[in-house]
């Protein structure tokens, strides 16, 4: 969703096509914004890559948008995710299954990488393009 032509409806269609295959649907959101992150997860993403995470505080805000309380602050509304399991079961297991992947793509992020990785809930990192 960050670059290119994918929007909410087109990535939902892609996730529907993936449903019968042994793949993990992941989306790269445009920004660290709770509304779009929650909508991506509600649309069926099992992982979110978020660009421009530069500090531990930004990583914590990203985790908060991805995970349900008490681990985060995500609102409950798994529109398409519910078919992956009964809604209450999804909510109780989602925090253990969702991939929360900050994108490291600036010098500031590299300087803070240990602090970012120490944020509870971070699954791993995506290292973006090398810049001059």
User: Which positions are catalytic?
Assistant: 3
Please, which residues bridge with residue 127 across strands?
104
**Sheet arrangement for strand 47-50:** 26-28, 47-50, 99-104, 126-127
Short-list 55, 60, 69, 31, CA closest to 114: 55
Q: Residue 35 to residues 11, 30, 77, 113: CA-CA distances in angstroms?
A: 16, 11, 12, 25
Please, which residues bridge with residue 27 across strands?
48
């Amino acid at each position: 969703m960050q670059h290119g032509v994918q929007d909410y409806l087109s990535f939902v269609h892609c996730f529907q096509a993936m449903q019968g295959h042994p793949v993990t649907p992941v989306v790269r959101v445009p920004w660290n914004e709770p509304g779009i992150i929650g909508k991506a997860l509600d649309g069926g993403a099992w992982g979110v890559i978020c660009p421009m995470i530069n500090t531990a505080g930004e990583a914590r805000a990203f985790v908060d948008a991805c995970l349900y309380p008490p681990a985060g602050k995500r609102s409950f509304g798994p529109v398409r995710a519910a078919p992956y399991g009964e809604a209450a079961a999804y909510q109780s297991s989602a925090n253990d299954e969702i991939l929360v992947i900050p994108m490291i793509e600036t010098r500031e992020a590299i300087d803070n990488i240990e602090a970012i990785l120490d944020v509870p809930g971070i699954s791993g990192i995506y290292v973006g393009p090398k810049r001059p």
